[in-house]
Structure 1
Amino acid sequence: MNIVFMGTPEFAASHLKALVESGVKVIGVFSQPDRPKGRGRRVYPTPVKSVAEVYGLPVFQPEKVNSGEGLEKLKELSPDLIVVVAYGKLLKSSVIDLPTLGCFNVHASLLPKYRGAAPIQRAIENGETRTGITIFKIDEGMDTGEIALRREIEIEISDNFGSLYEKLERLGREALLDFLKIAEAGRIELCKQEGAPSYAPKVQASDLVISDFSDAVYVLNKVRAYDPQPGARTSLDGKMVKLFGAAFSDRSYGKSRDGEIVKVEDHGMVLSCGTGNVIISLVQLPGKRPMSPKDAVSGWLIREGMILGG
């Protein structure tokens, strides 16, 4: 099969690398245009572009792919199948109807749950215990197409965004290679998405803020969902601090207020969170690197009795 790959971030780049190293015939790679990043606004290639260049694959970065030069290039390539992984653009019928076998997307959730841009973070944030990879045939909706293949895994209480990302990235690569074997054999079987859909909108700055410490489960999941990047945050003594490494504590520390640092121990600081206590193993204050709460206490940056979120 002649395959065109579409993707942009690291998650997609690892899938492209897996395809090439498995001998899949990738005839072209489409990625978002390179954008300026960071304080210096330096322009960096997208991770997918970087992988494509390592393997000598032709790369195209049109502003528009559903019309104009982007669409014309796709027509020239005449792919049998288009594989999409976190491309960042919705495809229209002009592209969807182009390949003989169709366009298929690798999505990091069990569709129809968590359609959208941030399925990994939202699943953790909402306390899900299962997630997975869905490969579906793209239609003009947002992650609404018929399912071709699905793989499921457990979300462990110890998982954060970083660890679950790695698990789903690995599962996605395996699932994609399995799917392409099925496609090459002409055995694609599609089924409709079943159940009520839910959505995973792009993460906004306001999503990262914890202002309510009355529910231990809520606080735990919020920290896990944005650990290690970009970090859940809350106010402390008039400053915004980031919290990492959350876990439940089953110890009792007596009467305390929601969000209070009731104890600082070797393994972290214990927060009173209404329905229980949550241990935070790393804290990052403005202008500082993440540090243990004990080091923060030694540096007179935090102390027991302080209130977070107030």
Structure 2
Amino acid sequence: MRIVFAGTPEFSVPCLEACRASGAQVVAVYTQPDRPAGRGRKLAPSAVKQAALAAGLPVEQPESLKSAQAQATLAAYAPDLMVVVAYGLILPRKVLAIPRLGCWNVHASLLPRWRGAAPIQRAILAGDSESGVDLMRMEAGLDTGPVLLERRTPIGPDETGGTLHDRLSALGAEVLAEGLRRALDGETLMAMPQPDEGVTYAHKLDKTEAKLDFARRALELERTVRAFDPWPVAEGAIAGESVRIWGARAVDRAHDATPGEVLAASRDGIELACGEGALRVTALQRPGGKRITAADYLNARPELRGVLK
């Protein structure tokens, strides 16, 4: 079986390795063009490109797959199957029709919930108790294709966007490996159409969402802190100083304070008044500084110690 793999971020790399280990032949790897990164904004290759080059695989980086030339280049690889994992570019109908066996996608949610760009973070923000990965046969709609295989996993009470990302990345490689093994054995995987009920969309993350509104419920803000770790990282103010908030826990506490006001401060955390309950900040980052504990922050701001309202 000849496979063309398409992916871009670190999430996709284990799936690329699963393709290589399957016994199929990875004839080309597609990834997005190099993008500016870091303080110097120098062009940097994607994680998938780095893995592909290290494995000696041909790499293609078209700006789009809509042109006849890009489609001809893909067709020249004569793929039996195209595997797409967080590629980031739209595949036109003509591209979907090129591989003999179609195109498979590994998606980090339990479809039809959380179709779209940011399913991992949206699941945490919504308070979902479960997530997973679906191996889906692609069609023209956004994550609308029938599901071939699925793996489920609980979302823990301390789960962050980063930890769930890593677990689903590994789980995606497992489900893809099983699908490839069965296909290589000559099996035709049963494609289950997605139900019409329960469709939700995981819109792309926006940095403006990271600014905490303390008029909201503390539980919602805790989920925001966890979902936006490691990016874009929640932001809020503590007694007039803007900080990035890396760790926080919702506290069931009655008060009549103004949202955002410091209610208590100790080595265990800094409690900020919310529209309902309080948010206990346990890890944070001052402007230009590094991530520190609440105890270290109070050493720098001793005037907050002992506040209790």
Superposition TM-score, scaled by structure 1 size: 0.92
Alpha-carbon distance between aligned partners in 2 of 1:217 and 1:176, rounded to the nearest angstrom: 35
Alpha-carbon distance between aligned partners in 2 of 1:92 and 1:302, rounded to the nearest angstrom: 60
**What residue number does 2:50 align with?**
50
Deviation string 1:215-234 (CA, Å, 9 cap, x unpaired) is: 12111111111013221112
**What residue number does 1:231 align with?**
233
Please report how far the alpha carbon of residue 191 of structure 1 lies from its aligned counterpart in structure 2 after TM superposition. 1.3
**What residue number does 1:81 align with?**
81
Alpha-carbon distance between aligned partners in 2 of 1:287 and 1:19, rounded to the nearest angstrom: 42
Give the secondary-structure state (helix, strand or coil) at the position aligned to 1:271: strand
Q: Where do 1:207-286 residues align within 5 Å?
A: 207-249=209-251, 256-286=257-287
* Native 8 Å contact 2:255 2:273 kept in 1: no
Please report how far the alpha carbon of residue 152 of structure 1 lies from its aligned counterpart in structure 2 after TM superposition. 1.0
Please report how far the alpha carbon of residue 169 of structure 1 lies from its aligned counterpart in structure 2 after TM superposition. 0.9
Alignment gaps of 5+ in structure 2: none
Deviation string 1:49-78 (CA, Å, 9 cap, x unpaired) is: 000011101111111223233211211111
Please report how far the alpha carbon of residue 38 of structure 1 lies from its aligned counterpart in structure 2 after TM superposition. 2.6
Alignment gaps of 5+ in structure 1: none
* Native 8 Å contact 2:119 2:202 kept in 1: yes
Which 10-residue stretch deviates more, 30-39 or 19-28?
A: 19-28
Distance 1:200 1:189, change over 3 A: same
Alpha-carbon distance between aligned partners in 1 of 2:15 and 2:248, rounded to the nearest angstrom: 30
Alpha-carbon distance between aligned partners in 1 of 2:222 and 2:34, rounded to the nearest angstrom: 36
1:191 aligned onto 2:228: no
Which 10-residue stretch deviates more, 3-12 or 21-30?
A: 21-30
Q: Which amino acid in 1 is paired with 2:274?
A: C
Deviation string 1:246-294 (CA, Å, 9 cap, x unpaired) is: 22345x5865443232222323222333432332211112111111122
Alpha-carbon distance between aligned partners in 2 of 1:37 and 1:118, rounded to the nearest angstrom: 20
Alpha-carbon distance between aligned partners in 2 of 1:302 and 1:50, rounded to the nearest angstrom: 49
* Native 8 Å contact 1:3 1:28 kept in 2: yes
Q: Which amino acid in 1 is paired with 2:83?
A: V
Distance 1:112 1:40, change over 3 A: same
* Native 8 Å contact 1:112 1:144 kept in 2: yes
**What residue number does 2:40 align with?**
40
Superposition TM-score, scaled by structure 2 size: 0.92
Q: Which amino acid in 2 is paired with 1:290?
A: R
Distance 1:302 1:45, change over 3 A: farther
Please report how far the alpha carbon of residue 177 of structure 1 lies from its aligned counterpart in structure 2 after TM superposition. 0.4
* Native 8 Å contact 1:108 1:168 kept in 2: yes
Alpha-carbon distance between aligned partners in 2 of 1:224 and 1:176, rounded to the nearest angstrom: 28
**What residue number does 1:203 align with?**
205
Q: Which amino acid in 2 is paired with 1:265?
A: S
Q: Which amino acid in 1 is paired with 2:149?
A: L
**What residue number does 2:139 align with?**
139
**What residue number does 1:181 align with?**
181
Identity %: 38
Please report how far the alpha carbon of residue 88 of structure 1 lies from its aligned counterpart in structure 2 after TM superposition. 0.3
Give the secondary-structure state (helix, strand or coil) at the position aligned to 1:291: strand
Please report how far the alpha carbon of residue 305 of structure 1 lies from its aligned counterpart in structure 2 after TM superposition. 8.9
Please report how far the alpha carbon of residue 128 of structure 1 lies from its aligned counterpart in structure 2 after TM superposition. 0.8
Q: Which amino acid in 2 is paired with 1:203?
A: L
Distance 1:236 1:281, change over 3 A: closer
* Native 8 Å contact 2:239 2:261 kept in 1: no
Alpha-carbon distance between aligned partners in 2 of 1:12 and 1:273, rounded to the nearest angstrom: 38
* Native 8 Å contact 2:22 2:180 kept in 1: no
Please report how far the alpha carbon of residue 125 of structure 1 lies from its aligned counterpart in structure 2 after TM superposition. 0.7
Please report how far the alpha carbon of residue 237 of structure 1 lies from its aligned counterpart in structure 2 after TM superposition. 5.0
Distance 1:71 1:302, change over 3 A: farther
* Native 8 Å contact 1:214 1:259 kept in 2: no
Please report how far the alpha carbon of residue 212 of structure 1 lies from its aligned counterpart in structure 2 after TM superposition. 2.9
* Native 8 Å contact 2:110 2:131 kept in 1: yes
Please report how far the alpha carbon of residue 186 of structure 1 lies from its aligned counterpart in structure 2 after TM superposition. 2.6
* Native 8 Å contact 2:254 2:277 kept in 1: no
* Native 8 Å contact 1:261 1:305 kept in 2: no
Number of aligned residues: 305
Q: Which amino acid in 1 is paired with 2:220?
A: Y
